[in-house]
Every structure is written in structure tokens, then in C-alpha cells.
């Protein structure tokens, strides 16, 4: 049973520049007078004992949050799976008794406040190896709970097989999806463009509680 939150390490996949947003770093795009990164951090941090930032950029702004910043351990900017691998490897080295990591992207400001605990309960109930999320009929592969026991498998898939897509890798294992559908808004609404940013601002104006902590 999970009775202490430090059984799970969280990682925020901060990525890098967004081509669809003028090659800006999405982490610091302003939303409701606050960087996107802070929205995600404020919702995610209370759910984990340790939170890592996966970023390949040298950012003083990210460093100012005083959280461990981990770069991809594989070269070539291989996508979110590489960030998840780096978090697994950090956890195995620094907190070897921890068996799970939870991952979220930096562009999802409306994350559920019970995300991590709900995913863990789903793992226990369904006895799956991995658990992902869905909402309103869609899955969101970057968000999930991952067993650190798969670290060697993931490194092999990335390094030797050239695998990049998360859902192709997770399909090899017993994966369940926890549904977080919401009629009012999508809790996994992600911001990939200026249009998405405008839509997020509009959602907040209609329902300011969306960003309540």
C-alpha cells in the first residue's frame, strides 16, 4: 500500500522550444499572470515528495525553483520518453527504494489535484504495470505512472530500437487508463499554440477556480 507520498517521484517534462509558439520556451509562457511552469508545479508538487524538472536548457529561471534539474541521459533530443528514462535513472540512483515515477508535461495548467493518488489506486486495483490517463474520449500518453523496474527496458527501446512514441512502448506492457473526464473543461488541456493560450485564458475568466490551489 502507498501510505506516504515519498513512494513516488514526480517529473515535470519541461522540454525545450516550441516551434508553434515562435521557438519560445513554453515553461515561461504567461497564463493568468503566472508562467505555465508555476501552474503545473503548484498543482503537482503537493502530490509528490520529490519533484524533478526534466530540461535540456540552461535556465536560471528554472534553477530558481530549487528543484533537481535533470537533462536527458541520451543525446539527440529524443522526446518525452527520454525525459521519463532520465527520471527513472535518477530515481534508481538517488532513491533506490522508490518504485514509481509520475510524469506530467509543462503545458497542462489544469492538472487534477488528486492525479498521483488516483493513478496509484488504479495500479493497485487493476494490477497493471503502467497506468495512463484519459479524458473526454482521448488518451494523453505523456501523463502517467511508471514503474522504475522498466528502466533497462526503456533504455534499450530508445537506444537500440530507436523507439520514440510513448504509446508504442507502453503497448508492450499491461497498461490501464484512468478516466478524468469533465463536462466543464478538460483537466489535461495542453497549450501548444497561441490559440491554445488564448483559449486557456478564456476558460479561466469563465471559471477562475480552474487555477485555484
Cell 508553434: give the residue: 20
Return the SS3 of 70.
strand
Cell numbers standing for residue 112: 487534477
61 domain-assigned: yes
90 domain-assigned: yes
Q: Check if the beta carbon of residue 68 is closer than 8 Å to that of residue 97.
A: no
168 domain-assigned: yes
Return the SS3 of 18.
strand
d(CA 32, CA 186) in angstroms, rounded, equals 17
Q: Check if the beta carbon of residue 12 is closer than 8 Å to that of residue 53.
A: yes
pTM for the model = 0.94
Please state the domain count of the chain. 1
d(CA 203, CA 111) in angstroms, rounded, equals 14
Q: From the CA atom positions of the chain, what is the Rg in Å?
A: 16
213 domain-assigned: no
User: What b/e readout covers 25-53, taking b as 16+ CB neighbours within 10 angstroms?
Assistant: bbbebebbeebbbbbbbbbbbebbebbbb
Domain with 120 in it? 5-208
**E strands, 44-202, where?**
50-55, 69-70, 100-105, 130-135, 138-147, 175-179
Cell numbers standing for residue 104: 506530467
User: Domain with 89 in it: what CATH number?
Assistant: 3.90.550.10
Give first-to-last CA distance, the chain, whole Å: 27
Angle at 80 between CA 159 and CA 27, to 5 degrees: 145
Provide block-wise average pLDDT over 10 residues at a time, the chain (213 residues): 66 76 80 96 96 92 95 92 97 96 97 97 91 96 97 97 96 96 90 93 92 79
Q: Check if the beta carbon of residue 151 is closer than 8 Å to that of residue 85.
A: yes
* pLDDT computed for residue 54 by the predictor: 97
- CA nearest to 78, candidates 58, 54, 62, 45: 54
d(CA 148, CA 97) in angstroms, rounded, equals 10
146 domain-assigned: yes
Give the H/E segment covering residue 155. helix 151-159
Residues present in the chain in total:
213
Amino acid at each position: 500500500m502507498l501510505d506516504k507520498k515519498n513512494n513516488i517521484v514526480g517529473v515535470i517534462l519541461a522540454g525545450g522550444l516550441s516551434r508553434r509558439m515562435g521557438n519560445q520556451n513554453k515553461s515561461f509562457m504567461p497564463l493568468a499572470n503566472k508562467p505555465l511552469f508555476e501552474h503545473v508545479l503548484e498543482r503537482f508538487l503537493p502530490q509528490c515528495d520529490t519533484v524533478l524538472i526534466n530540461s535540456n536548457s540552461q535556465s536560471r529561471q528554472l534553477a530558481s525553483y530549487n528543484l533537481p534539474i535533470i537533462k536527458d541521459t541520451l543525446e539527440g533530443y529524443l522526446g518525452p520518453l527520454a525525459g521519463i528514462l532520465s527520471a527513472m535513472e535518477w530515481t534508481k540512483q538517488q532513491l533506490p527504494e522508490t518504485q514509481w515515477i509520475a510524469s506530467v508535461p509543462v503545458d497542462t495548467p489544469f492538472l487534477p489535484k488528486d492525479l498521483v493518488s488516483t493513478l496509484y489506486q488504479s495500479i493497485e486495483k487493476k494490477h497493471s504495470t503502467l497506468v495512463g490517463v484519459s479524458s473526454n474520449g482521448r488518451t494523453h500518453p505523456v501523463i502517467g505512472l511508471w514503474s522504475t523496474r522498466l528502466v533497462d527496458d526503456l533504455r534499450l527501446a530508445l537506444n537500440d530500437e530507436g523507439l520514440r512514441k510513448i504509446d508504442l512502448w507502453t503497448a508492450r506492457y499491461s497498461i490501464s487508463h484512468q478516466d478524468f473526464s469533465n463536462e466543464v473543461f478538460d483537466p489535461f488541456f495542453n497549450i501548444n499554440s497561441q490559440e491554445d493560450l488564448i483559449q486557456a485564458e478564456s476558460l479561466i475568466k469563465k471559471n477562475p477556480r480552474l487555477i485555484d490551489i
